[in-house]
Structure 1
Amino acid sequence: MLYPDSFEQKLGFDKIRDLLRQACISPLGQSYVDKIRFSDNFQLIDKLLRQVAEFKTIVQYEPDFPSSNYLDIRPQLAKARIEGIMLTEEEFFDLKLTLRTIQQCLRFLDGKEKESYPYLTELAEAVTVDKKLTDAVERVIDDRGHVRDTASPALAEIRRKIISEQAGLRKKLDGILRYARQQGWVPDEISLTIRNGRMVIPVAAEHKRRLKGFIHDESATGQTVFIEPAEVFDTNNEIRELEYEERREVARILRELTDQLRPFLPDLLRATTFLGLIDFIRAKARFALQIDAEMPKLINQPTIDWKLARHPLLHLSFQKQGKKVVPLNLLLDPKQRILIISGPNAGGKSVALKTIGLLQYMVQCGLLIPVVEGSSAGIFQNLFIDIGDEQSLENDLSTYSSHLTSMKAFLTLSNRKTLFLIDEFGTGTEPGLGGAIAETILEELNKSGAFGVINTHYTNLKLFADKTPGLVNGAMRFDGEHLEPLYELEVGRPGSSFAFEIASKIGLSKAVIDRAKEKLGSQQVNLEKLLKELDIEKRVFAERNLEMGISQRKLAQQLAETNALKTKLDNEQKRLLNDAKQKARALVTEANQRIENTIREIKENKAERDMTRLVRQELEQFEQRELKPEVLSEDPVKPQSEEFLPEEGAITAGSFVRIKGQNTIGEVLALRGKDAEIRIGDLKSNIKLNRLEKVSRKAYREAVGETARPRMTGIDLNEKMMNFSFNLDLRGKRGEEALVELDNFINNGLMLGYPELRVVHGKGDGILRTLVRNHLRSFPQVASMQDEHADRGGAGVTVVKMK
């Protein structure tokens, strides 16, 4: 239920209807604008809002959706119902264009994944356009709206004859015209023309008797007459007969086509209804883009939770002026159902009230509203408003009487699913009495469990709201220092009227203001003074909080940079250690190989002294050249060196041993007969016991100079963070190019510690989307991926969440 009857006019929804009509392409869509109705059906409202949200995405990102020839062919369909009636060429041409647009809409939705636009796809499921019908219309009507020559063999023959006869006629007339020019009856610049559907020659009036024929017309001045020469009477008559025959054949063809059309009228009517709905929904989507509207989360219970809500008409007006509307944050829930807004005049209270009423009405009429993501909207059964001067001369009602009449209706009809909005509650009568009555009415409205917003200047209502559960005070903020309204709603405290300050600003004498304060009483003056001081302190603390917030963000950024740099250094240290270990293993392997080769050469040469010396020299040169301490110099940890001395006793598991003639030291892991399993570094090997000698270990550590430490060059994380965008656009890229950019993007995001990234790949046929998502699955650091919200790209954007 809505109250009063002028509800839409009071809130300005009639202007929104006008804007929606302008956004429609055809009368089809405009007819649905007139049918917009308030509803409390949750499923219906949710469906309508989602349809608009889907179309908003289409308007933003799908330029190939058909946007022309939304024609209203309902009169043609009604005419075609009558047996024996035929549609004209123009009517069939409109039908052809409309069917083409409907087919384009259906093909568009059919070519998309069903989850892309599920609610619009559901709307199209009941629509069918029989191909036989479209083929029949295409076969008869050409793209200029005329019956084709090929529509029937008879028509083709008739038109061929007409062309032939007209060519012969023109030839004869050209000859007569040349003769007339030679005789001076016709000026040289005159050419053949048409009168009454017949070809004639313009002749000067004084020579009209010289040219035999029939005069069809004369010029306005009477100086020229239009004569059909007698020689072409028969040819013109023949052409006229052929034209009559052509018309009869065209009528026969169109009558047959109308008969073919008649069985499909129910399907065509549904298809036309679908086209009108598409036009209407697109108009709502275009309007939503104009006012920067979003779809709030819909909740099937009375509640309001809006963030940065704006009055749509005020938004459009300010947009033209290059200004911005101050947004409104509002929460009405079971704990605080009724908001009492106070503050100075011209501070924005009435605009806030109208914004709340208009946006709630828009939601329940299936329109998106200008709020930001994270907002929620509930469902109310009743919307009641008491805004403006309802003084009635006809009913002899004063302004206050009119207010009381509204209050009577509110008290009678309000329930837990009602939202009421009252502007300037209690005004229009003596303040003391008005305040008392207003407080009593407010008490009853609170008992009904209704939700509401009330504007007032009455102090007793502010105090009542402060101590009554379910009610909460709110204030329209005011700059107490410069005495200027800020148009911001602050919930949680009452506002001051700033009456004395405003009076002082406009020049009222100090003596008058002081006497007014004395008459008002110290308690009320102190309350107004306290409210003013609280407002000023609020601004000071808000500025300090802003500064602290900026400092905290800077600190958090520096901490993130430090952590990222530490992680980088740790990773670099691990890499250097691993490289050093791998190089050391390779050198040990090569050394063992050379040792084996040395032993083999000594044996093969039967330990000849010179050859042995030569082989030992080669081994020592390799040791000096390759097994240098610099091998481990890239390790940022200082290396250790140990000294091993020969030791007496048997070799057992755990003994330290050295290969005879070498400096390689290992630890015995196990004995297996005449073999020993030893470990040299990370390598294990089996060696004959008689090739080993037991040693004792006296370890000592030597400090290595900083010159052995390698220099590491880092990455400028500050620069990377400044230049990095968490949004990657791959649209139009080829597969290989896209994957290379994706790799760099994910690696940089991991380095900088971003928890969430966005990849824009578009919808299209879904090939690039599949390629991107398959590649993302190869990253172990990727926790999940999902489609973006439908309002921000839907399936055309992948949101990547990192571990």
Structure 2
Amino acid sequence: MIYPHNFEQKIGFDTIRELLKVKCLSTLGEERVDNMSFTDQFAGIEEQLCRVTEFVRIIQEEDGFPDQYFFDVRPSLKKIRIEGTYLDEQEVFDLRRSLETIRDIVKFLDREDDEDSTVPYPHLKSLAGDIAVFPQLIGKIDQILNKYGKIKDNASTELSRIRRELNSTMSGISRSLNAILRNAQSEGYVDKDVTPTMRDGRLVIPVAPGLKRKIKGIVHDESASGKTVFIEPAEVVEANNRIRELEGEERREIIRILVEFSNLLRPSVPEILQSYEFLAEIDFIRAKAHFAIQINAIQPALEDKQLIDWTDAVHPLLQLSLAKHGKKVVPLELELNKKQRILIISGPNAGGKSVCLKTVGLLQYMLQCGMPIPLHERSHAGIFSNIFIDIGDEQSIEDDLSTYSSHLLNMKNMMKGCNAQSLILIDEFGGGTEPQIGGAIAESVLKRFNEKETFGVITTHYQNLKHFAEDHEGVVNGAMLYDRHLMQALFQLQIGNPGSSFAVEIARKIGLPEEVIADASEIVGSEYINADKYLQDIVRDKRYWENKRQNIRQREKQMEDTIARYQAEIEDLNHSRKEIIRQAKEDAERLLSDSNAKIENTIRAIKEAQAEKEQTRLIRKELSDFKESIDEVGSKEHEEKIARKMEKLREKQGRKKEKKSSPEKVVHKEVKVEPLTPGCPVKIKGQTSVGELLEVNGKNAVVAFGMIKTSIKLDKLERATGQQPKKEQKSTFVSSQTQDEMYEKKLHFKQDIDVRGMRGDEALQAVTYFLDDAIQIGVDRVRILHGTGTGILRQLIRQYLETVSGIAHFQDEHIQFGGAGITVVDLE
């Protein structure tokens, strides 16, 4: 239940609807937006939110979702339920493309993940589960329509015969007219540059009025200036009549084909309409997903109970409005649960109380209409069966209601309809009448709301309501914060303490005389003024300690990050130390092995020398020298080696820190010469030409300078720092943005260009750009309309066409469609 009837208008949801409709691709989705309604069914809301969340993933992660052709052909399908009616060519073409889109969407949602064989979008797949895709129907349409949506020549045998005869007759007329025209030009009746033209669907020859008797035939029309008349020669009148007959036969045959197709289609209309309901739902979900991305909305943790536990909640319309001016909304922190169900918000005027109220109403309503809402990911949200709102001036002359009377009527309806599953939203509770009795009635009504265990957000200035919240369980105070020093609202909600209205401070700020303020303070009494001041002090102190706590949290976080970084560096040092010690052990083992070998060789040498004293002495001295060298390496050099490596490691750590603090120094640091490896850019010492090193064979190397390969000594080469060899590079990647631009260009490309009336250089430039686009998107044939006139423009264009690569052939258009005034260009 939603109360009152204009609830959506009061919270701004009517604007949300309009923003959603703009994002729909067709009237299919727009109807769903219009029919979107509030529900309290937990399973249904959760399913809708999951589908929108999955579609957000599709938009952000996928490139190939088929959303090209969303056509609403439901009116056309309903029309052909009557026997004898039929779809025209355009309707059949729209049906074919939208059926193809439905088929592709079902296929897209039905696919499985290659890695773990799971369905990536299960909630959307369940929506597409029983949808028929009609491949036979698409095939049948392809038999009668070409890729441009026109009836094919071979759609039927009769149509093929009619069009052959039509082309043959038109060719005969063209030949006859050209012969008559050449004869008239040779006799001087017609100018040399005149070509046949069309009037009322008949081919005619333009002649001067004074010479119209020279050509026998029927005068069909004359130019607006009266300087040209259009004559249909008698020789082609009968042929033109035949063309009219054949065109009539062609239309009748096309209608027969369409009627036959519509008869085939008619039994499947109910099932096809069901498929279009699926397409409408996809359009609707897609619009909600795009809107969710625009306002940074998410699917909160949804619970099947009455709960509001929101972090960083923002009003989406206010967010969009402020974003245009480079500003941000102050987020809202709000929690309503079984222990604190009703929040009483107090604070200064223009401090954000009403915005806070509308934010709660709009986000909860959006959520229960199946839309993601702008919150932090850790937020939790519940479901309410009823939402009541009382906001704004509801004066009604017709119903004889004052502002206060309308508020009382709303209170009556709320008390009658609310329960423990309801959410009430009341702005300026008790306002509109004498404060003392107004506050008393408001307190009494609030007591009834609390007894019914309803949930709510209420704004007020009344002190008695603030005291009520302090004294009754289930009701909690909240304050919109205000900076006393800057005298401006902070638009932050703080739950736990009531807020001051800052009436005295605001009065001083706007310049109200001090004696007026003093009189007012005396009237209300020092107790009231002091109480208000205490409230301000409490709020100020709470803000101070809250900021302190926030700063301490930030410092603790910085300390944790620093400790983690140092621990990582210590672990890295320990790892490096262990690696150095391991290498040292390997060196020691290698030395020990060498020592054993030396001892064995010494023993063998002594034996071979047969223990001669001098030879034995020399051998023993050699062994003693080797032992001393081992001791020296083991005791000094290895220690020094380890020390040097540890020193290098410390220097490396120091350079890392220096790089983080002063990146400019690292950029200009001298780079060591790297060895030459295949693939690097090189040049011959003393030369400037840069090539690519292909391979290294000992002291020789193979280098490619452009298309030339050469062998050269490796020591004659040096690395070409910061340079790359010049070579042809072929693009192997086309971005999705470029593909979209090419698709958009191809979709809107027109195969005709009209340069009549342009100067020669303007026309050539226009034709150049036109042909570039045509060749780029792969069009087979284009037409250039240059007119006849003096023939100079035609000559310039054709001279240019002879120089353009990619043109297979060009010629005059058929005489019936413009003749020499149009050049037809066939592209390779």
The equivalent of 2:260 in structure 1 is 256
Q: Could you list the per-position Cα deviations for residues 725-782 of structure 1 after superposition, in whole angstroms to 9, with x for gaps in the alignment?
A: xxxxxxxxxxxxxxxxxxxxxxxxxxxxxxxxxxxxxxx9xxxxxxxxxxxxxxxxxx
The equivalent of 1:402 in structure 2 is 406
* Distance change >3 Å, CA 320–CA 217, structure 1 → 2: same
Correspondent of 2:130 among 119, 126, 131:
126
**Given residue 591 of structure 2, which amino acid in structure 1 is its aligned partner?**
L
Q: Secondary structure at the match of 2:35?
A: coil
Shift of 1:600: 4.9
* Distance change >3 Å, CA 357–CA 707, structure 1 → 2: closer
Shift of 1:479: 1.0
Shift of 1:723: 11
Shift of 1:39: 0.7
* Distance change >3 Å, CA 710–CA 403, structure 1 → 2: closer
Shift of 1:367: 0.9
Q: Secondary structure at the match of 1:215?
A: strand
Q: Could you list the per-position Cα deviations for residues 656-704 of structure 1 after superposition, in whole angstroms to 9, with x for gaps in the alignment?
A: xxxxxxxxxxxxxxxxxxxxxxxxxxxxxxxxxxxxxxxxxxxxxxxxx
Shift of 1:42: 1.0
Correspondent of 1:305 among 305, 309, 318:
309
Report if aligned partners of 1:421, 1:453 keep a CA contact under 8 Å in 2: yes
Q: Secondary structure at the match of 1:331?
A: strand
Q: Secondary structure at the match of 2:90?
A: helix
**Given residue 73 of structure 1, which amino acid in structure 2 is its aligned partner?**
V
Report if aligned partners of 1:288, 1:294 keep a CA contact under 8 Å in 2: yes
Q: How far apart in 2 are the matches of 1:427 and 1:188?
A: 91
Report if aligned partners of 2:577, 2:646 keep a CA contact under 8 Å in 1: no
The equivalent of 1:357 in structure 2 is 361
* Distance change >3 Å, CA 409–CA 218, structure 1 → 2: same
Correspondent of 1:574 among 578, 583, 601:
578
* Distance change >3 Å, CA 323–CA 708, structure 1 → 2: closer
Shift of 1:573: 3.0
Report if aligned partners of 2:131, 2:278 keep a CA contact under 8 Å in 1: yes
Correspondent of 2:323 among 319, 325, 342:
319
Q: Could you list the per-position Cα deviations for residues 176-231 of structure 1 after superposition, in whole angstroms to 9, with x for gaps in the alignment?
A: 23344455554555432223322122344444444322333444566544332211
Correspondent of 2:427 among 423, 429, 432:
423
The equivalent of 2:95 in structure 1 is 95
Task: Please tell me whether residue 453 in structure 1 is matched to residue 442 in structure 2.
Answer: no
Q: Secondary structure at the match of 2:477?
A: strand
Q: Secondary structure at the match of 1:419?
A: strand
Q: How far apart in 1 are the matches of 2:181 and 2:480?
A: 88
Report if aligned partners of 1:347, 1:485 keep a CA contact under 8 Å in 2: yes
Task: Please tell me whether residue 168 in structure 1 is matched to residue 172 in structure 2.
Answer: yes
Report if aligned partners of 2:497, 2:539 keep a CA contact under 8 Å in 1: no
The equivalent of 1:587 in structure 2 is 591
Task: Please tell me whether residue 269 in structure 1 is matched to residue 273 in structure 2.
Answer: yes
Shift of 1:549: 4.1
Shift of 1:552: 3.3
Task: Please tell me whether residue 715 in structure 1 is matched to residue 653 in structure 2.
Answer: yes
Q: Secondary structure at the match of 2:108?
A: helix
Report if aligned partners of 1:24, 1:30 keep a CA contact under 8 Å in 2: yes
**Which segments of 5 or more consecutive residues in structure 2 lack a partner in the other structure?**
664-735, 737-828
The equivalent of 1:139 in structure 2 is 143
**Given residue 245 of structure 2, which amino acid in structure 1 is its aligned partner?**
E
Shift of 1:620: 1.9
Comparing 539-548 and 150-159, the one that deviates more: 539-548
Q: Could you list the per-position Cα deviations for residues 241-264 of structure 1 after superposition, in whole angstroms to 9, with x for gaps in the alignment?
A: 322332233223223322332343
Correspondent of 2:287 among 252, 262, 283:
283
The equivalent of 1:2 in structure 2 is 2
The equivalent of 2:686 in structure 1 is none
Q: Secondary structure at the match of 2:235?
A: helix
Q: How far apart in 2 are the matches of 1:221 and 1:180?
A: 22
Report if aligned partners of 2:308, 2:335 keep a CA contact under 8 Å in 1: yes
Q: How far apart in 2 are the matches of 1:452 and 1:709?
A: 67
How is 1:207-606 mapped onto 2 (pairs within 5 angstroms)?
A: 207-220=211-224, 224-602=228-606
* Distance change >3 Å, CA 87–CA 711, structure 1 → 2: closer
Comparing 436-445 and 358-367, the one that deviates more: 436-445
How is 1:608-627 mapped onto 2 (pairs within 5 angstroms)?
A: 608-627=612-631
Shift of 1:608: 4.8
Report if aligned partners of 1:577, 1:635 keep a CA contact under 8 Å in 2: no
**Given residue 531 of structure 1, which amino acid in structure 2 is its aligned partner?**
L
Report if aligned partners of 1:169, 1:235 keep a CA contact under 8 Å in 2: yes
The equivalent of 1:74 in structure 2 is 74
Q: How far apart in 1 are the matches of 2:135 and 2:531?
A: 78
The two structures have a TM-score, normalised by structure 2, of 0.75
* Distance change >3 Å, CA 632–CA 450, structure 1 → 2: farther
Report if aligned partners of 2:110, 2:119 keep a CA contact under 8 Å in 1: no
* Distance change >3 Å, CA 194–CA 105, structure 1 → 2: same
Q: Could you list the per-position Cα deviations for residues 321-351 of structure 1 after superposition, in whole angstroms to 9, with x for gaps in the alignment?
A: 2211111111111121111000011111111
Q: Which has the larger radius of gyration?
A: 1
Report if aligned partners of 1:342, 1:495 keep a CA contact under 8 Å in 2: yes
**Given residue 217 of structure 2, which amino acid in structure 1 is its aligned partner?**
G
Q: Secondary structure at the match of 2:392?
A: coil
Comparing 207-216 and 81-90, the one that deviates more: 207-216
The equivalent of 2:704 in structure 1 is none
Q: Could you list the per-position Cα deviations for residues 411-464 of structure 1 after superposition, in whole angstroms to 9, with x for gaps in the alignment?
A: 111111111100000111111111111111111111111110000000111111
Report if aligned partners of 2:477, 2:495 keep a CA contact under 8 Å in 1: yes
**Given residue 26 of structure 1, which amino acid in structure 2 is its aligned partner?**
S
**Which segments of 5 or more consecutive residues in structure 1 lack a partner in the other structure?**
639-705, 725-763, 765-803
**Given residue 579 of structure 2, which amino acid in structure 1 is its aligned partner?**
R
Report if aligned partners of 2:206, 2:230 keep a CA contact under 8 Å in 1: yes
**Given residue 121 of structure 2, which amino acid in structure 1 is its aligned partner?**
Y
The equivalent of 2:24 in structure 1 is 24
The two structures have a TM-score, normalised by structure 1, of 0.77
**Given residue 169 of structure 2, which amino acid in structure 1 is its aligned partner?**
E
Report if aligned partners of 1:477, 1:490 keep a CA contact under 8 Å in 2: yes
Report if aligned partners of 1:580, 1:635 keep a CA contact under 8 Å in 2: no
Comparing 107-116 and 489-498, the one that deviates more: 107-116
Shift of 1:53: 1.4
Report if aligned partners of 1:201, 1:228 keep a CA contact under 8 Å in 2: yes
Q: Secondary structure at the match of 1:370?
A: coil
Q: How far apart in 2 are the matches of 1:411 and 1:471?
A: 17
Shift of 1:305: 1.3
* Distance change >3 Å, CA 5–CA 723, structure 1 → 2: farther
How well do the aligned residues superpose, as a CA RMSD in angstroms? 2.7
Report if aligned partners of 2:588, 2:634 keep a CA contact under 8 Å in 1: no
Q: How far apart in 2 are the matches of 1:243 and 1:388?
A: 68
Q: Secondary structure at the match of 2:324?
A: helix
Shift of 1:89: 1.1
Q: How far apart in 2 are the matches of 1:497 and 1:712?
A: 64
**Given residue 653 of structure 2, which amino acid in structure 1 is its aligned partner?**
I
Q: Secondary structure at the match of 1:397?
A: coil
Shift of 1:127: 2.0
**Given residue 2 of structure 2, which amino acid in structure 1 is its aligned partner?**
L
Q: How far apart in 2 are the matches of 1:290 and 1:233?
A: 65
Shift of 1:580: 2.7
Shift of 1:59: 2.3
Q: How far apart in 1 are the matches of 2:37 and 2:487?
A: 43
Shift of 1:547: 4.2
Q: How far apart in 2 are the matches of 1:637 and 1:534?
A: 67
**Given residue 138 of structure 2, which amino acid in structure 1 is its aligned partner?**
T
How is 1:188-199 mapped onto 2 (pairs within 5 angstroms)?
A: 190-199=194-203
Q: Secondary structure at the match of 1:34?
A: helix
* Distance change >3 Å, CA 270–CA 51, structure 1 → 2: same
* Distance change >3 Å, CA 707–CA 378, structure 1 → 2: closer
**Given residue 715 of structure 1, which amino acid in structure 2 is its aligned partner?**
Q
